[in-house]
Structure 1
């Protein structure tokens, strides 16, 4: 089997701007070799059994030698593997791709280049700065600030707009060279740190003032834009999206947060995903397997979550069955999303309670519950007991089986923790009581290791948004308050509530 190496540009630090070709290649990768500036969300796109190797290089930090990277690519390619070499930005702009390509050619390895959106182009755009303008900028140049002494500053000082990568450490030297070659001290300059990511920061000043503005601030990684177009900032960006300028922290299971994140971004929000749940198989399949073998004996199947649907049908398939095994059973689901997951398996629920909450399921059940035999695949521990109790009060026989279990991640997402500490979060969303509990636990772990921090001060200026009454109750109990509660207990309803509150 012949292997191949794909040198893929990841673009800026935002999954939204990855090319379709790049996304497809990641889904096929046997080996992923990635850079330091690649967003870790990209790692979720590779197959579960893909080997992931971080070979990132950052100035002043321990780095993987280039020869080692070359050998990794060659060795895995010669083993017949599909190797994706994921590089930040575009593979051929100020990177080491040429060295890797030469090594691959010498070793007889097949390779392909896949372009990415360079941060030199994307970061200014995402900060609302046009690089060209018919009056102010008829040309721009992209340069590296790594070794300013090697550049022709007499020529560069005459270019309308300069875009500088890797220039924050030599910013003073760059400015001095421009001033010495005739650039005005009042020339506008923008520094865009973490362009396109939830942690994006922008500093606007002039060649005369910018050094004082950013004194003592760690700027890397950043793009520097110098030219009169900086004054046009935000002329090209929309301001009518309701959540523009707001940063929303999402606390859900890692595999469930992406769709919600996209929905919020479509309303203008910047999102940070903080997994507060780990969804895993149950500790034992025995009860669920037994129930599946006896499906013919049940009148109803109740599914109250997308996780319940996913694990139930995965187990059904594992046991050699499919949706036809449910032909004689009626299905009740709680929530639109659960219904949508069920429809992915070719089935339409027979009953969805109003308000999309479990409490209304018993009250509005379409049949007399007495003598009904109900199968209820659910979370192994920590689920709400009231539904089962109310069903049993009405005379139903309820068989509860563990379909999955949920737990708290061991550590908080570093990006989320940094954003909370830096007061960069405006809204925190909670889609279940467990996310509230686990969020509190994760924060408490960090606070206990830093005596200068406390929960109240960290969250005092943050809006807490809940998906429904039970989640709100847990917020009040654990966090002391809730600011927003969805009227319709869905993700769409939660977004509507946030927009109305804003």
Structure 2
């Protein structure tokens, strides 16, 4: 039997981007993943599909799995010959309860390895633009837990230039009282960083005298507190000339498609929260597409109107033992730059791309007479627009529609996005298709009903609604009552440019 091993591993401060390379490699071989709170859900996608995933989070004031049970699980899986990853937020040796786990592993002769992670004690101040050391303002700093403030030596702590406190949100007032009792001035700067390194990160700055009122009735978990004169350096360190700096954008696309748009927005300084509003899946049956693929030589044109249509068509083409050479006698028309780029990745160039990147433009500018032409149109199974088929048929073409994929609505709203909407953290919501608007509205209604809140329009009253083009805008008006931004060029790049123009003129 293969020897088992346990990896006590730090996940970093809360974002996949800050996982170490060693951590990435270990997750890829995991048989069992036992993970804590504050771990980026994207990390869970890095383990093999057959990996056993067990959530063992511990949050103050909430029920949690006893440490003894976790210790037993680690030992048991290891003795079964499994590669076990014990994934902890931050670094496993900074308030990570690693010692009792190591003791249990050693007592049972289990092999283990500790893999460091970036602690939020270091990352949160940095990402907030606060240097923990400075030759004039901070010669040293201390990191401590605020879980039980009364047990700490505040007389000694108060003398240290910079104080970093983890798990101190619930004890903020007690911490401030202790420091002032031991001589720290009420005007001492303080910063509170919640959800460090995540898209919903928030920062409050003030003084020991003012901060409690600033964050009254706000949940401060998870949070990192920084106290000291270096907090005054934050504006100098974090100022940015990027056009979308300070704006939080909610991206409503399918999970498979959101990354590129998020990257574009982040490059312009935006904080991005992704809310999957589409789930892309295979069609209910491949029969019609398979039949069309078997008779590709009969068609004059292949029309592709989405990256999903391209990907699913060519994937199925390969499954049927064919490749792009089967399209030798077929001309290809695509709608949109993204669709054309996706087609190019398959090693195929489009014969025709309409100038305005929309289906209506394809009909208006089609390069040859359509009468008598036979056209293959792989498309979404349900819910797509019918105008293209109707207009092509009206000009004498015979259009064969075949389902190539299906787009559905997720079962519930993404919790992170819902929290951000409730807490009025969102400045802009972007929509890149009518379906994302419809699904977003449905998910929002569901969440509002279960939480007895106001209408979707009320919740979005101060949020800018941005659309990629006319058809999406029409659906925005129908569902949400308004559109504030519409891209001039109907692409993700065009939508990004439209957001920048709106920010510059608002």
| Range with greater deviation from structure 2 (458-467 or 353-362) | 353-362
Distance 2:192 2:79 in 1: 43
Hey, what does 1:247 align to over in structure 2?
A: 248
Change (3 A) 1:371 1:51: farther
Hey, what does 2:94 align to over in structure 1?
A: 93
Distance 2:173 2:42 in 1: 34
Change (3 A) 1:23 1:348: farther
Change (3 A) 1:376 1:446: same
Hey, what does 1:375 align to over in structure 2?
A: 376
- The 3-state SS of whatever aligns with 2:190 is strand
Hey, what does 1:14 align to over in structure 2?
A: 15
Hey, what does 1:119 align to over in structure 2?
A: 120
Q: Given that residues 140 and 162 in structure 1 are in contact (C-alpha distance below 8 angstroms), is that contact kept between their aligned partners in structure 2?
A: yes
Hey, what does 1:421 align to over in structure 2?
A: 422
Task: Kindly state the Cα deviation for residue 230 of structure 1 after the two structures are TM-superposed.
Answer: 1.2
Distance 1:261 1:397 in 2: 39
Task: Kindly state the Cα deviation for residue 222 of structure 1 after the two structures are TM-superposed.
Answer: 0.8
Distance 2:478 2:325 in 1: 44
Structure 2 residue 261 is matched with structure 1 residue 265? no
Distance 2:318 2:380 in 1: 19
Task: Kindly state the Cα deviation for residue 375 of structure 1 after the two structures are TM-superposed.
Answer: 1.6
What does residue range 272-287 of structure 1 map to in structure 2 within 5 Å?
272-287=273-288
Partner deviation per Cα, 1:45-89 (whole Å, 9 max, x = no partner):
444444332111111111112232233334444445443332111
Distance 2:425 2:216 in 1: 20
Partner deviation per Cα, 1:461-487 (whole Å, 9 max, x = no partner):
111100011101111122111111111
Task: Kindly state the Cα deviation for residue 458 of structure 1 after the two structures are TM-superposed.
Answer: 1.0
Hey, what does 1:302 align to over in structure 2?
A: 303
TM-score normalised by structure 2 residue count: 0.93
What does residue range 96-495 of structure 1 map to in structure 2 within 5 Å?
96-495=97-496
Change (3 A) 1:483 1:110: same
Distance 1:335 1:106 in 2: 62
| Range with greater deviation from structure 2 (19-28 or 53-62) | 19-28
Change (3 A) 1:486 1:212: closer
| Range with greater deviation from structure 2 (391-400 or 98-107) | 98-107
Task: Kindly state the Cα deviation for residue 444 of structure 1 after the two structures are TM-superposed.
Answer: 1.5
Distance 1:77 1:127 in 2: 40
Change (3 A) 1:207 1:451: closer
- The 3-state SS of whatever aligns with 1:279 is strand
Q: Which runs of 5+ in 1 are unaligned?
A: none
Change (3 A) 1:397 1:247: same
Change (3 A) 1:346 1:201: same
Alpha-carbon RMSD: 2.2
- The 3-state SS of whatever aligns with 2:176 is helix
Q: Given that residues 457 and 481 in structure 2 are in contact (C-alpha distance below 8 angstroms), is that contact kept between their aligned partners in structure 1?
A: no
TM-score normalised by structure 1 residue count: 0.94
Question: What is the number of residues matched between the two proteins?
Answer: 502
Distance 2:494 2:112 in 1: 47
Hey, what does 1:39 align to over in structure 2?
A: 40
Task: Kindly state the Cα deviation for residue 108 of structure 1 after the two structures are TM-superposed.
Answer: 4.3
Distance 2:140 2:339 in 1: 53
Distance 1:193 1:450 in 2: 24
- The 3-state SS of whatever aligns with 1:254 is coil
Partner deviation per Cα, 1:354-398 (whole Å, 9 max, x = no partner):
121111222222333233322211100111111112222232222
Partner deviation per Cα, 1:321-362 (whole Å, 9 max, x = no partner):
333333333322222222222222222222222121111222
Q: Given that residues 339 and 349 in structure 1 are in contact (C-alpha distance below 8 angstroms), is that contact kept between their aligned partners in structure 2?
A: yes
| Range with greater deviation from structure 2 (330-339 or 402-411) | 330-339
| Range with greater deviation from structure 2 (363-372 or 190-199) | 363-372
Change (3 A) 1:390 1:124: same
Task: Kindly state the Cα deviation for residue 281 of structure 1 after the two structures are TM-superposed.
Answer: 1.1
- The 3-state SS of whatever aligns with 1:449 is helix
- The 3-state SS of whatever aligns with 2:356 is helix
| Range with greater deviation from structure 2 (220-229 or 33-42) | 33-42
| Range with greater deviation from structure 2 (172-181 or 195-204) | 172-181
Task: Kindly state the Cα deviation for residue 92 of structure 1 after the two structures are TM-superposed.
Answer: 1.8
Distance 1:282 1:433 in 2: 20
| Range with greater deviation from structure 2 (269-278 or 314-323) | 314-323
Q: Given that residues 127 and 234 in structure 1 are in contact (C-alpha distance below 8 angstroms), is that contact kept between their aligned partners in structure 2?
A: no
Task: Kindly state the Cα deviation for residue 451 of structure 1 after the two structures are TM-superposed.
Answer: 4.2
Distance 2:332 2:75 in 1: 53
Change (3 A) 1:330 1:75: farther
Q: Given that residues 192 and 223 in structure 2 are in contact (C-alpha distance below 8 angstroms), is that contact kept between their aligned partners in structure 1?
A: yes
What does residue range 57-68 of structure 1 map to in structure 2 within 5 Å?
57-68=58-69
| Range with greater deviation from structure 2 (139-148 or 277-286) | 139-148
